[in-house]
Amino acid sequence: MRLIFLGAPGAGKGTQAVYLCEKYAIPQISTGDMLRKAVQDGAELGRQAKAIMESGGLVSDDIIIGLMRERLAQPDCGRGYILDGFPRTLAQAAGLDAMLGKDGIQLVLLFDVPEKVILARLTSRRTCSQCGKIFNMISNPPPADLVCPDCGGRIIQRDDDTEATVLNRLRVYEEKTAPLKGYYEKQNKLAILRGDAPLDQIHREMDDLVAPLAR
């Protein structure tokens, strides 16, 4: 089962990926998480990516494709995977197709959410600086002392969740990533889901699309 989740930042890709990953025992592969870990670890890739990420830009295609090639070769990807946040450009999509060859992507799910909903979601998001647990000031507020109940880490607003950066990320998405819709439509692999629908509805629709791939 080889899936791609597309959608603007804050469209809910990560949340929906967790549901399918638990159901089918496959990993969720997020380039954002991988890059943030590289930044945290102080790796060379992290130093290169840090300034770009904080401004809401995109790390170069060559770096991302190389990172993804290493990740997909790991044993836990043998049963399949969900790519969350990759590809983000047409060049990355072409590079992925070339990399996978005959074992290509089977289904691409695009989560469509209005911009005003995304802006509210992301500017309200808070994240544990230690374990990455996510809170929301509206729907799932953190403790008043901003200490993570899971690990004791400090809960913060990430630099890429401020309003100015979110708006820039949405602009970059429209310019660079939205064209992927047409790319995968031509391959007859694209399905569009309403990302602000009730959670149980989204799960039912995903199950209907994904179940045939697991047989």
For residue range 165-210, list pLDDT tens digits in order.
Answer: 889 989 988 888 888 999 999 999 999 999 999 999 999 999 999 9
% pLDDT > 90, the chain: 50
Among residues 2, 36, 121, 125, the one annotated as catalytic is: 125
Q: Which of 50, 126, 169, 176 is catalytic?
A: 169
Strands 125-128 and 155-156: antiparallel
Half-sphere exposure of 141 (CA within 13 A, CB side): 5
Q: Active site residue: 13, 36, 50, 176, which one?
A: 13
Pick the catalytic residue from 36, 50, 88, 126: 88
Over residues 1-28, the pLDDT tens digits come to 999 999 988 898 888 998 999 999 999 9
Q: At 201, phi and psi to the nearest 5?
A: -65, -45
Query: What are the phi and psi torsion angles at 99 (to 5°)?
Result: -70, -45
Encoded amino acid at 197, one letter? A
Of 59, 2, 9, 48, the residue nearest 210 (C-alpha): 2
Q: Give the model's pLDDT for residue 14.
A: 82
Asked about 169 being catalytic, the answer comes back as yes
10: exposed, middle or buried (C-beta count within 10 Å: 0-12, 13-18, 19+)? buried
Q: Which long-range contacts (CB under 8 A, 24 or more apart) does 194-200 make?
A: 194/111, 194/112, 194/113, 195/7, 195/11, 195/12, 195/16, 195/111, 195/112, 195/113, 196/12, 196/113, 196/114, 196/117, 199/15
**Residue 188: both structure tokens together:** 């007859």
Residue 213: DSSP 8-state: G
Q: Give the DSSP letter string of 48-75.
A: HHHHHHHTT----HHHHHHHHHHHHTSG
Residue 204 known to be catalytic: no
Pick the closest to residue 166 from 114, 111, 121, 197 (CA basis).
Answer: 121
Our answer to whether residue 158 is catalytic in this structure is yes
Give the CATH number of domain 2-113+165-214.
3.40.50.300
Question: Has this prediction a pTM greater than 0.85?
Answer: no
Reported as a single tens digit per residue, the pLDDT across 85-129 is 889 889 999 999 999 987 799 999 999 999 899 998 889 989 999
Q: Which is the catalytic residue, given 23, 71, 133, 158?
A: 158
The mean per-residue pLDDT over the stretch 24-35 comes to: 86
